[in-house]
Amino acid sequence: MYQNNSWGADMSRPKNENPPDKKVTTSRLPNRLHRYMKTIASMKYGTLQLMYTEMLDAFLYEKPWLTAGLRWRETKALTGKPARGKRGVFLLDSEATGWSQVNFAISPQLIAEVEALAEDQGVSSSAVLYTACYWWAWFVYPPEHEVVAREAAGLPTRVVVTQVG
């Protein structure tokens, strides 16, 4: 383990301790979406948790399931698949399923709003979180290839999010 470099500085990964004003809720995301969310966060927000808070605030304010007809996206299970050629052996990592568990350290108030929306819409809170991430990555910060395709088709390239608060 990389505890110290040659200058004596601690090189270990910083511990992710959640501030006392945050609670953790989980969802599952496709691996590619999760990687893209990490890219957006590192380029625009610095941390995933800051981006998740802004994303959920905007999602709850904009209500794209009402205004834009966004459908709720259901998560997939993290169960493994039998390994190819190895009868009875199961792969349980995210590469086997293509999905990763994602922790959202957000305010208790925001968690309560997500849970209330989930109950109102008849979906799981995990589905609300996945749908918010999908909306954020596909409509607010779409990949460059999608922006080019939308421009070529004469479609709007991005959703402009109203500043919340």
Q: Which residues, in sequence order, are bridge partners of residue 120?
A: none
Residue range 15-71, pLDDT digits in tens: 455 566 888 999 999 999 999 999 999 999 999 999 999 999 999 999 999 988 899
Rounded CA-CA distance 33/39 in Å is 10
**Cβ(110)–Cβ(23) below 8 Å:** no
Locate tokens 């989930």: which residue?
118
What is the rounded CA–CA span in Å between residue 49 and residue 45? Answer: 9
User: Is the confidence at residue 95, as pLDDT, over 70?
Assistant: no
Alpha helices for 41-107 (secondary structure H): 48-62, 64-67, 94-97
Q: What percent of the chain has pLDDT over 90?
A: 55
Span of 2-11, 59-68, 87-96 with lowest mean pLDDT: 2-11
pLDDT at 163 over 80: no
Rounded mean pLDDT, 104-129: 96
